């Protein structure tokens, strides 16, 4: 629409600047069609090369006062990705629609390994602690021939086993499901992700590190649930605290709050991983420290507390 309007203006009021803008705009239009044709013909490498050429022309068009649907920063990011894909001889994938097994697995994990995914599992498990107090079953439990602390640690262990099973089922199911509908790319494990500093990370490394970080974040959330369950001993109150803390922490990260030694930032696993990839050791130390504090605090609070 803009191009056609400029052509009509040019007919009535000739201008060298406008004429150049129309000329470059026409090139953009032609190159867009070339990219579309390459996509439809499944000429992967041609598509990537043509798209890069299109963005170079689009930058010239914008410099002359034209409009384009991407900013220069976005075009630079896509061009870098295209160059990396060309170097690795990989086709471009829509990361939100792909069914390539590893990429689809990463997509599923990016939704599961979040504060809201962890919260759903926590709320299911939390009632196994608070229910014992509300139904008075804990009086019978504490007559068993082992200490209260040991029983509480067994309960925590059951939480963690359930968490590991949940994470395993989600990961394996996602990979198997995607594998049923497509043939895996020969080099799909090398598909690149850009971390915040612009360095490239392979999808296999993103998944591996994401599972490690996600596993530790899951342990933190379940240990926190174990803590509030044994501390407050009320299902409703424990649910409310869990929702406020876990969901609130996730929303802080989603809204762009920086890491700053906040253990709740790790609950948005993929975002935190890509933002802190080169310094992720800090997150592991913080999570480990937080988990230890929660365990010691829970055992100390309940050691001599009545039922």
CA distance 291 to 297: 10
What pLDDT was estimated at residue 278? 73
What pLDDT was estimated at residue 298? 92
Judge whether 66 and 21 are in contact, CB under 8 Å: yes
What pLDDT was estimated at residue 166? 94
- Whole-structure pTM value: 0.80
CA distance 113 to 116: 8
CA distance 165 to 208: 17
Count other C-beta atoms under 10 Å from residue 175's C-beta: 17
- What DSSP character marks residue 247? I
H or E, element range at 201: strand 200-202
* Cα four-point dihedral sign 247, 248, 253, 254: positive
Phi, psi of 26 (to 5 degrees): -65, -35
**Quick check: 1 pLDDT over 60?**
no
What pLDDT was estimated at residue 169? 95
Which percentage of the chain shows pLDDT scores above 90? Answer: 27
Query: For residue range 45-60, what is the model confidence (pLDDT) as tens digits?
Result: 889 999 999 999 989 8
Query: For residue range 141-197, what is the model confidence (pLDDT) as tens digits?
Result: 666 677 888 888 999 999 999 999 999 999 999 999 988 887 766 777 888 888 767
pLDDT (mean) for 257-284: 76
Count other C-beta atoms under 10 Å from residue 109's C-beta: 22
| Mean per-residue pLDDT over the chain, rounded | 83
What pLDDT was estimated at residue 162? 93
What pLDDT was estimated at residue 128? 86
125-139, 152-166, 213-227, range with the lowest pLDDT:
125-139
What pLDDT was estimated at residue 79? 92
Instruction: Between 268 and 13, name the one with better pLDDT.
Output: 268
Instruction: Between 194 and 31, name the one with better pLDDT.
Output: 31
What pLDDT was estimated at residue 19? 67
* Cα four-point dihedral sign 283, 287, 293, 297: positive
User: Which value, to the nearest 10 degrees, does the dihedral of the CA atoms of residues 51, 57, 62, 68 take?
Assistant: -30
pLDDT bucket at 9, cuts 50 / 70 / 90 = low
CA distance 103 to 151: 41
Instruction: Between 21 and 208, name the one with better pLDDT.
Output: 208
CA distance 204 to 222: 27
CA distance 211 to 195: 17
| Token pair of 82 as six digits | 């295209």
What pLDDT was estimated at residue 14? 63
Residues recorded for the chain: 307
98-107, 196-205, 290-299, range with the lowest pLDDT:
196-205
What pLDDT was estimated at residue 133? 81
């Amino acid at each position: 629409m803009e191009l056609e309007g400029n052509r009509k203006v040019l007919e009535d009021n000739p201008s060298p600047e406008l004429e150049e803008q129309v000329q470059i705009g026409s090139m953009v239009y032609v190159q867009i069609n070339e990219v579309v044709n390459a996509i439809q013909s499944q000429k992967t490498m041609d598509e990537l090369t043509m798209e890069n050429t299109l963005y170079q022309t689009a930058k010239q068009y914008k410099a002359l006062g034209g409009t384009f649907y991407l900013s220069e920063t976005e075009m630079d990011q896509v061009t870098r990705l295209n160059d990396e894909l060309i170097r690795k001889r990989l086709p471009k994938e829509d990361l939100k629609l792909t069914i390539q097994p590893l990429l689809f697995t990463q997509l599923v994990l990016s939704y599961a390994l979040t504060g809201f995914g962890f919260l759903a599992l926590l709320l299911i498990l939390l009632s196994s602690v608070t229910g014992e107090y509300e139904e008075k079953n804990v009086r019978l439990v504490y007559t068993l021939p082992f200490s209260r602390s040991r029983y509480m640690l067994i309960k925590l262990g059951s939480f963690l086993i359930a968490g590991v099973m949940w994470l395993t089922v989600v990961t394996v199911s996602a990979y198997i499901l995607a594998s049923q509908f497509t043939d895996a790319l020969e080099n799909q494990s090398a598909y690149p992700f850009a971390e915040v500093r612009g360095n490239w990370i392979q999808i296999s490394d993103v998944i591996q590190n994401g599972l490690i970080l996600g596993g530790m974040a899951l342990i933190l959330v379940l240990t926190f649930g174990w803590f509030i369950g044994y501390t407050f001993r009320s299902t409703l109150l424990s649910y409310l605290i869990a929702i406020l803390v876990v969901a609130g922490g996730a929303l802080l990260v989603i809204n762009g709050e920086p890491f700053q030694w906040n253990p709740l930032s790790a609950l948005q696993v993929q975002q935190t991983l890509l933002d802190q990839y080169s310094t992720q050791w800090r997150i592991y130390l913080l999570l480990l420290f937080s988990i230890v504090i929660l365990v010691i605090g829970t055992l100390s609070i309940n050691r001599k507390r009545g039922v």
